[in-house]
Every structure is written in structure tokens, then in C-alpha cells.
Structure 1
Amino acid sequence: MARDWESVFTTWSQGPSATEQERAENAERQIRQAILSSEKLRNRDIRVFTQGSYRNRVNVRRDSDVDVGVVCFDTYFPEYPDDNVKLELAKSFVPAIYEYSTFKSELEEALVARFGRGAVNRGAKAFDVKANSYRVESDVCAFFEHRRYLSVGRYHSGVEMIPDDYNPPSIKNWPEQHYDNGVSKNNLTQRRYKRVVRILKNLSNEMAASGVESAKKAPSFLVECLVFNAPNASFNYGSYEPMVREVLANLFNSTISDEACDEWGEVNELKYLFRGSQPWTRQSAHAFLSDAWDYIGYK
């Protein structure tokens, strides 16, 4: 008997429950309280925010933990478009006296004081804070502001971390731009964009559990970015099965070669999707899209 994909997709399209969202918000709130309780951190210019799939409301059941960013604006990491801008800005620079390594260690102290040593594990990139009945498990990342200068007075504001193992040497993210662009795309597609993201993330998880290698190599972030690059017209259907078909067909055809997708960006639109040191390739994304098409049984 053929599988009722419309029914499956309808279930998969649903956003997080109120209880899930509340537990994620509780985790963020408690981490903020940990900062406020720290004598070393409470007076610094720090912002605590939920990032990733929970904040963008594209989390699915496998996304069991919430990503929480803790960014300090007292120091920033600069990136320059050219040496002229760098030299001009250097005239007004003051050397940083607060280092990233110090900030991360002070954040660890604050988390341990709040949750206990047994509930906090320091990883190379994030602190793992264990869940309880009140909050979900959290990956807490320490950031300094990252400024990508466009000119002397203009820059994009993101966040940057230095992993303990320097692998890679640094990681830059653009959470605000990602959030804003996702909301805009969702509004332009009658709130269908994020529903299709959830559908394809659930599909990828099921394919991976069934042993499909391409799905195992397709991170949920990549799936979200692929759907973001589908034309808005692909979402103009009243039911999910033809909508998913149209999105997959468009993405499949556009990733056959480099030319059609070379300019694609992540949802933040400040980083190319298939260039640089991404942990995936255009070929691996194309393989996943092809296998997803076959897995559903589209002809």
C-alpha cells in the first residue's frame, strides 16, 4: 500500500509545541540569570540569545537541544574589505585588554555556579548544559562580536568564537541576519517556507535512520539553506505533496552543475553556500536531493 505522503508531510510541517518552546525559553532565561549572578560578567556588555533551529522555529524532534549564544560586545574581531580601510580604522583602535579565552573561562565559572559542575561539560566549541524537567539540554556558545567592515563607518555585525582546539581557528556566524531573512522568506511564501524546511529535515532524519548515506551527510542547517534558495513560486500550492515535489525538483535541477547555484548563500546571505571551507559540497547536496526524490517515490 502506497504511503500517504500528504498526511505524513502535514504532520512533519508542524512547528514546535508550546511546551517545547517554553522549555527552550526557560533554558535561555536561566543562562541569562547565570550571567547576572556572576560578579565578573554582570557589568559587561553581554547579550544572551537563542540561535539555530529553535529560534528560527524550524526544529524537529531530533533537534533535542537548544543553541544559546552568549556574545560580549566589550571586544570585537574585525574583518576588513581592504588594507586602506584597515589602516584608516587603526588610527582610532584601542588594543583589547579583555581576551576571548578569559571571557569563555568566566562564562564556564558562571554556568557551573548556576547549574553545578556535573551538569556542565566544556567542549571545544560549546558548553553542554544538561536538561531537567524545567529546561531542555543546551549548547551554550561564547562569542565576541564580529565586525565585517564595508567601509570606515559601515559594517555587518555578527558573532565569532575561537574553539579550544583551534579546529577551525575561528567560527563566524550571522544569527540576526539569518533570523530576519528566514522571517522574510516565510512571509513571502504565505508561511510555507519554514513548514517545508521542517518536512525535509524530518525526511532527512528518516532517510538517515534507514541507512541512506547522503542524508547522513546532509546537516539540518544545509537542508534549511537549500530550501531558502528555492524560488518563492515553488511554494504556491495548496497541499504539501506537490509543494515538496516542486521545491525538490527546482533544487535538484539547480545543483546538477556549479553554474546555477554558484551564487547561492546561506540563509544569512553573508556566506556562500557552496564555497570556501563548508563541511558539504554541491555534489553531496545534489545526491541528497536526488535520494529524497526517490525515497518519496516521485516520478
Structure 2
Amino acid sequence: MSWEDTFKSWGAAPGTTEQQKMENTETAVRKAISASARLADMDISIIPQGSYKSKTNVKNDSDVDICVCLNSTFFPRYPEGKTQNDYGNVDGSISFSDFKNLIQKALEDYFEKSEITRGNKAFDIHSNTYRIDADVVPAFAYRYYYDTGYDWHKEEGICFLTDDGTKIINWPHQTYRNCKNKHDATGQRYRKMTRILKRLRNKMQEENIVEAKDIPSFLIQSMVWSAPDDHFNRATYSADVRAVLAHCYNETLPNGKHATLREVNDIKNIYGSHQPCTREKAHAFFSRAWSYFEFE
């Protein structure tokens, strides 16, 4: 099979059966939360996120990432020198640990304890013949207050504490919107290119190629998103892959624009001390990917 044929195969979305299992999983999580008497009166949003929501998941390697967000209580970011008193905010009525425990009970009551594993960040719902694996992340809303005035960044993000005490902030609404806009602006090629590079990462890992180890899917998605629109929708898939991969390689060089590259949400930087993958490690992966395809 030629690389062009391989790219077309790798770029395809999961099939109908796999997609239906993902939707079944989301529906089951929604039912579990709504069935809880303790959670029923809370202002909660169920937010599909990750590759499932952005439709960049690959065949036979999909899971469902769902955030259960309490909107009435939020983690704030205040400007230096200001506190909740400056904004008329008061302490929430529930702690994050208590909220996470309520989510755990709701999931265990609905799915049974044996089907749920509590992780540091999320609850893992195990797959069966009807659904696929799911990560359910309890979270509070996140308000980023601007340095001037009294307004905050709209739309709100989400924020949660891991069991070991680390605070993690994500922006799922912005990520989905920017992903969709990029896909539309690139002749429906953005998601395909993201899947292709994720499939390559998976194949390199299967072959024990060290440069592919611990390369996050969201880093790949964000680096592809950062490529200019004219790198997509060329005459062939191979031409797109070559152009996008060259961008990823060049911008992660020491003199590249890596310091200013943003995640798909267009808020957080792709590289920095807050991220698990360094610029150097990402560059090594993109360099090895280039040689794997035998591009010149």
C-alpha cells in the first residue's frame, strides 16, 4: 500500500459501530448523573471533551472524555492585589473533594463499583459490548478575571484538583469551537491530518521507536492546528502531511516560534513548565516522523 493510500485510511473517522458505542457511553454518563438525588438540584453541565468531542479520535483507539462541571461554584483567577471581596464573590457551599465524592457515588450506583476505577484525575468507566472506555472528570467552572475592570474571560473554562493536589485548568468550549473552525477553513482536512499523525505516533510506539513515547495526543492536535491554513487541502494527502509535518518540525527548532504557539483553545501555550512534554521532546518526535515517511 502506498503512503497516499495509508494516509487516506489513517485519516478516516471511527466507523458507525464504534461511534455508536461512544454515544452510548455519553448517554449512560448523563443518566448516571441525573439519577443522583444529591446532584439533581445542582447547576451541572455535562461537557463532552477531548478527541471525542473534537472528532479527532482514531479508529479502534477511541475513548470518551466527559467533564461533569458544577457551574455554581468556581475556581477564580484574580489579578494581583485583588480578592473575592473586590468582586462580591463568596466561598462556595461545597468543597471540590466532596463534589468529586458525589460524582463517584453516582457513577458507582449506576454502573456498579466493579465497573468504576478512581484515578488521580478522573473516574474510568470500563468498556463492555455496549460502550467503550470513558474518563469522567469532575470539575468546577473556572473564571479568569482580567487585570483591568471587573469582567472575566467568556466562556468560562473548567478547573479541577487531582487527588494529589494539582490544579488543572482546561478550556473545552474554546477547543471545540476552534477545532471546528479550523476543519472548515482547511477543506475538511484538519481532523484528517490530526488523525494521521496520531496513528503514526501509535505505530511508532508499537515498533518501540523511543521518540514516540509519551507524546500526548493533544500536543499533536494543537501543533497541527497551529499550521497555516494553506498547508492543508493540497492536491494529495501526502502533500498535506508533508507541509504540516514540516511546520511542526521547523517551529520546534530552537529558533522556531514554539514559545508563542498556542493550544487549540488559543489560550494556553503548547510548551512551557506547565506542560508534560518539552519542546525538545516534541521536536525529536516530529524529526523522527519525517524520516519515518522518508520525506526528503
TM-score when scaled to structure 2?
0.95
Aligned residue number for residue 160 of structure 2 = 161
> 107, 111, 117: which one pairs with 1:121?
117
Aligned residue number for residue 210 of structure 1 = 207
Aligned residue number for residue 82 of structure 1 = 80
- Unaligned ranges ≥5, structure 2: none
Aligned residue number for residue 126 of structure 2 = 130
Please give the secondary structure, in 1, of the residue aligned with 2:79.
coil
Cα displacement (A) at 1:262: 1.3
Residues 80-125 of structure 1: per-residue CA shift (max 9 Å, x gap): 2332476521xx1122121111111111111011000111111111
Please give the secondary structure, in 2, of the residue aligned with 1:141.
strand
Cα displacement (A) at 1:145: 0.5
Aligned residue number for residue 246 of structure 1 = 243
Residues 185-213 of structure 1: per-residue CA shift (max 9 Å, x gap): 11110111110000000011101111111
More displaced, 127-136 or 252-261?
A: 252-261
Please give the secondary structure, in 2, of the residue aligned with 1:95.
coil
TM-score when scaled to structure 1?
0.94
- In structure 1, distance between residues paired with 2:59 and 2:169: 26
- In structure 1, distance between residues paired with 2:28 and 2:251: 44
- The 5-angstrom pairing of residues 52-201 of structure 1 reads 52-61=50-59, 63-84=61-82, 88-89=86-87, 92-150=88-146, 151-156=149-154, 157-166=156-165, 169-201=166-198
Cα displacement (A) at 1:142: 0.4
- In structure 2, distance between residues paired with 1:84 and 1:64: 43
Aligned residue number for residue 286 of structure 2 = 289
Aligned residue number for residue 280 of structure 1 = 277
- In structure 2, distance between residues paired with 1:136 and 1:115: 13
Cα displacement (A) at 1:155: 2.2
Cα displacement (A) at 1:31: 1.0
Please give the secondary structure, in 1, of the residue aligned with 2:282.
helix
Cα displacement (A) at 1:44: 0.4
- In structure 2, distance between residues paired with 1:165 and 1:273: 23
Cα displacement (A) at 1:235: 0.7
Conserved 8 A contact 2:250-2:256? no
Cα displacement (A) at 1:128: 0.9
- In structure 2, distance between residues paired with 1:131 and 1:286: 34
- The RMSD of aligned alpha carbons is 1.5
Conserved 8 A contact 2:15-2:59? no
Residues 18-47 of structure 1: per-residue CA shift (max 9 Å, x gap): 222221111111111111111100110011
Conserved 8 A contact 2:141-2:159? yes
Distance 1:108 1:68, change over 3 A: same
- Unaligned ranges ≥5, structure 1: none
Please give the secondary structure, in 2, of the residue aligned with 1:40.
helix
Percent of pairs with identical residues = 38
Conserved 8 A contact 2:12-2:59? no
After TM superposition, the runs of 4+ consecutive aligned structure 1 residues lying more than 4 A away are 84-87
- In structure 1, distance between residues paired with 2:256 and 2:291: 24
Q: Which amino acid aligns with 2:167?
A: S
Report how many aligned residue pairs link the two structures: 293
Conserved 8 A contact 1:85-1:152? no
Cα displacement (A) at 1:249: 1.2
